[in-house]
Amino acid sequence: MQGRVLIIAGSDSGGGAGIQADIKTVSALGGYAMTAITALTAQNTLGVHAVHNVPEDFITRQIEVVLEDIGADCIKIGMLHRAAVIHAVADVLDSLAQDIPLVLDPVMVAKGGHALLEPDAVEALKDRMIPRATLLTPNVPEAEALTGIKIDGVADFDLVGDKLSRLGAGAVLIKGGHMDGETVTDVLWREEHAAQVFESQRVDGRHTHGTGCTLASAIACGLAQKMDMVAAVKRARAYVHQAIVSAPGFGAGHGPLNHGHTVAPFDVD
């Protein structure tokens, strides 16, 4: 099954994260990607240099026309930036997409440190988006910001996962990439299920821009293709790991991944 994924997120002009990474990821994994762009960023591997807001009515119109015609098997949400955007997106999804699985990547800060979620938008995210998420995918700083709990190690993931689940998320994947150590540990927390621990060898290097966007979109693609949650996470992690290992080395800062590593080259006679 190809799987239709509607991606609601911001644009990264450098191509490493955001909508650009999402489209590449879903396409590389055999899905069909559609988009509703929530913000435009002037961005490269050195950071976010400017953000241009997209009007809320145009964001919702993008969502409406896609869902009314093409439909979606899963929705992936990334950068929403402002409280008004969160409320607008939540309203249209409540109207048109109540039964569609949703993967929410709570994008708060870019790799270079630029804030991508305004302070007053955090409560809107917790009130309107997290309760309808099938899966929430915070990294450690995002999980701390959403719960107020300081994470000192993987042992804290269970408490944080429980608190995030109480906000309404169906499942929470806490990503441990920001923590020290040779092993990257992610934990999938689901109420009434044993916590699922995923581990992989850390890849040294600075070419990790867009890993969060990429992982969430890869999982969304798996869910759209009717994979179960654990299988979708396993495939997504393996895809991201290889994308980091084979990163092209572009840029002077946090470089992009190799999203196309699954696509075999072909010759034309």
Name the β-bridge partners of 75.
6, 102
Among residues 12, 9, 16, 2, which one has the least CA distance to residue 258?
16
Residue 30 annotated as catalytic? no
Among residues 95, 97, 87, which one has the least CA distance to residue 6?
97
Q: Which residues contact 94 (CB under 8 A, 6 or more apart)?
A: 132
Residue 210 annotated as catalytic? yes
Residue 208 annotated as catalytic? yes
Distance CA 243, CA 211 (A): 9
Distance CA 60, CA 66 (A): 10
The residue from 137, 208, 221, 255 that is catalytic is: 208
The residue from 14, 41, 74, 213 that is catalytic is: 213
The residue from 212, 214, 222, 255 that is catalytic is: 212
The residue from 78, 176, 210, 222 that is catalytic is: 210
Q: For the chain, how big is the Rg over CA atoms in Å? A: 17
What tokens does 71 get? Answer: 């439909």
Residue 25 annotated as catalytic? no
The residue from 211, 214, 221, 255 that is catalytic is: 211
Residue 31 annotated as catalytic? no
Distance CA 239, CA 121 (A): 31
The residue from 175, 185, 214, 255 that is catalytic is: 175
Catalytic residues: 175, 208, 210-213
